[in-house]
Amino acid sequence: MNPTGNIPIIEMPNGKILTQSYAILRHWGRQMGGYDGKTEDEKYWVDAICDIVVDCKQTTLWKARVDTNTQTGRTLFIAAFFSGNQKVDYPKHQQGDRARFLKAIETHLKGSDISRRGPFVAGNEITYADLVLFQLLHDENLIQDGRKRLRDFPRLVQLVDAVQERP
């Protein structure tokens, strides 16, 4: 169904096949008349923030590494998190590219006229980029424990709080 062999794959009632996570999010958001910004500038900004999250995931989470003993590929995040030497490997993961991307996203959100209008990427309106960013922060265990791990990123804390406060 998906030429890349990846998931997700969604078959719509009309038989149309949708693939690629973020393309699906954008498509459904636009089909529902929201979740991607109202103006072209907002739509661009939402897409740009989502692309930064994708870059972060590709750099810090999904970059394949081959274990020379078992010849199995694992992501750097998984490799670090489940390492036999986790106390050393996971902090390296946390302080490397991940920290650089968190600073970049924080800077982008603080510096954007669009993002400064409210707690979300596009101001007061939640978008698919907010959900994508929230998922990254959640998967990286950054939103637990009273957001202690995000203490240097107040704009990200604001976004996380706003997403979690939604019904």
pLDDT confidence of residue 75? 56
Same domain? For 147 and 86 the reply is yes
Q: Are residues 8 and 78 in the same domain?
A: no
Q: What is the DSSP letter of 120?
A: B
Query: Does residue 56 share a domain with residue 45?
Result: yes
Q: Is the pTM of this model over 0.85?
A: no
Per-residue pLDDT tens over the stretch 58-92: 776 555 454 444 444 445 566 666 667 767 666 66
Mean pLDDT, all residues of the chain = 83
Number of domains in the chain: 2
CA dist list (Å): 83 to 37, 97, 98, 127, 140: 40, 18, 18, 35, 16
Average pLDDT over residues 27-50: 92
pLDDT, position 64: 45
Q: DSSP string of 19-57?
A: ESHHHHHHHHHHHTT-SS-SSHHHHHHHHHHHHHHHHHI
The answer to whether residues 92 and 137 belong to one domain is: yes
Which of these ranges, 96-100, 103-107, 113-117, 128-132, has the smallest mean pLDDT?
A: 96-100
pLDDT of residue 102: 92
- Measured distance CA(167)–CA(132) in Å, rounded: 17
Instruction: Encode pLDDT of 50-64 as tens digits.
Output: 999 988 877 765 554
The H or E element spanning position 9 is strand 9-11
Same domain, 23 and 56: no
Residue 86 and residue 27 share a domain = no
Please tell me whether residues 11 and 41 are part of one structural domain: no
Q: Are residues 43 and 97 in the same domain?
A: yes
153 in the same domain as 71: yes
Whole-angstrom distance, CA of residue 40 vs CA of residue 108: 18
Q: Looking at the structure, do residues 80 and 145 belong to the same domain, yes or no? A: yes
Is the same domain home to 82 and 140?
Answer: yes
- Domain residues for 98? 34-165
Q: What are phi and psi of 154, to 5 degrees?
A: -60, -30
Q: How much is the average pLDDT of 33-38? A: 89
Which ranges of the chain does DSSP label H, i.e. alpha helix?
A: 21-31, 40-56, 76-81, 86-95, 97-111, 128-139, 154-165
Give the model's pLDDT for residue 89. Answer: 65
Cα–Cα distance for residue pair 138/105, rounded to 1 Å: 15
* 15 and 66 within one domain: no
